[in-house]
């Protein structure tokens, strides 16, 4: 095979690889925006009410402890007893227990979800007609670049790391190891956590030198496949704003000190205006 043929093949492969990468990122971005705008997406989260022990009334009457933008004036009562929450709907004789972060109570167009954060139990309100969903105008991104798809060394070093959230609560989370890589001539590490014991991807909460400038001040999120062959792929083109960038009623984790990077990661989502 002549050098000219080899060069031609290399150029053809490069040209084929470029559009595939760009198409993949474009498709990923479309899916990201679709998920945000979905009826149960983060743009619909429009309230968070912490329960007190005993009866917590809810309905559209402003006199309720949980005042709703839709539904009957008195829709029902959430009961918090000994760390468990139940609901009695207006017109129903039976009270039912609710599983936090799983069960949903429907009131008109609204969804009410019990959530547990540490010792606190609350009700998250989702409204498909929320102002944030109606006003959504799309996301801004740094230009996509394969240079920000980094193959890192994976160091298996399981341990528990403390993760602080915006409520001021700290929870020990399982960290299976860390990703080691270089950017801008600097040796860096990112420590992921597992969101579930059987999670099939790694979850990173990080800050960098764009935070508070071009990107959301508190952090960005990144997911990666599980390590394979002593390596893990970090695609910073898929770094995203946390839910707290879109709603004041999220309870986002904050980056551990190990994940505050002293470099600029000019990839992924920019600040949402």
The residues near 156 (Cβ < 8 Å, ≥ 6 apart) are 176, 177, 227
DSSP state of 31: H
CA distance 195 to 159: 14
Position 212 pLDDT exceeds 50: yes
Kindly tell me the burial class for residue 214, based on how many C-beta atoms sit within 10 Å of its own C-beta (0-12, 13-18, 19 or more): middle
Mean pLDDT of 160-174: 96
pLDDT for 273? 82
User: Given a cut of 50, is residue 7 above it in pLDDT?
Assistant: no
Q: Measured at the alpha carbon of residue 36, what is the angle toward residues 30 and 37, in degrees to the nearest 5?
A: 90
d(CA 141, CA 209): 16
Instruction: Report the chain's mean pLDDT, rounded to a whole number.
Output: 93
Query: What is the SS3 assignment for 7?
Result: helix
Share of the chain above pLDDT 70, in %: 93
Rounded average pLDDT over 102-127: 96
Separation between Cα atoms, residue 74 and residue 63, nearest integer Å? 9
Chain position carrying tokens 């080899």: 6
Per-residue confidence band for 202, with pLDDT thresholds at 50, 70 and 90: very high
The whole-number average pLDDT for the span 190-212 is 97
8 Å CB contact between 222 and 234 = yes
Tell me the whole-structure pTM to 2 decimals.
0.89
pLDDT tens digits, residue range 213-266? Answer: 999 999 999 999 999 999 999 999 999 999 999 999 999 999 999 999 999 999
- Cβ neighbours around 266 below 10 Å, total: 17
pLDDT, one tens digit per residue, over 68-100 is 999 999 999 999 999 999 999 998 878 999 999
Dump pLDDT digits (tens) for 10-20. 334 444 444 69
Contact (CB, 8 A) for 166 and 217: no
Strand order from edge to edge, sheet including 110-117: 45-50, 120-126, 110-117, 105-107
pLDDT of residue 94: 86
């Amino acid at each position: 095979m002549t050098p000219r043929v080899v060069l031609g093949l290399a150029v053809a492969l490069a040209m084929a690889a470029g559009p595939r990468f760009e198409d993949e990122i474009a498709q990923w971005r479309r899916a990201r925006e679709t998920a945000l705008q979905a009826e149960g997406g983060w743009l619909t989260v429009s309230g968070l009410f912490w329960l007190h022990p005993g009866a917590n009334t809810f309905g559209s009457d402003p006199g309720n402890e949980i005042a709703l933008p839709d539904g009957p004036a008195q829709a029902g009562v959430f009961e918090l007893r000994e760390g468990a929450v139940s609901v009695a709907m207006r017109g129903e004789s039976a009270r039912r227990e609710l599983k936090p972060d799983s069960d949903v109570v429907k009131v008109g167009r609204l969804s009410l979800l019990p959530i547990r954060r540490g010792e606190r139990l609350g009700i998250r309100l989702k409204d498909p007609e929320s102002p944030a969903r109606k006003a959504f105008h799309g996301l801004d991104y740094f230009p996509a670049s394969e240079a920000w798809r980094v193959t890192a060394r994976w160091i298996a070093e399981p341990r528990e790391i403390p993760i602080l959230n915006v409520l001021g609560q700290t929870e020990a989370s399982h960290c299976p190891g860390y990703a080691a890589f270089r950017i801008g001539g600097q040796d860096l590490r990112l420590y992921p956590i597992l969101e579930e014991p059987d999670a099939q991807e790694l979850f990173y909460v990080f800050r960098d030198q764009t935070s508070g400038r071009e990107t959301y001040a508190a952090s960005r999120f990144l997911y990666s496949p599980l390590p394979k062959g002593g390596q893990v792929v970090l695609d910073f083109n898929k770094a995203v704003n946390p839910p707290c960038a879109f709603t004041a009623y999220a309870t986002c984790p904050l980056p551990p000190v190990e994940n505050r990077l002293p470099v600029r990661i000019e990839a992924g989502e920019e600040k949402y205006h």
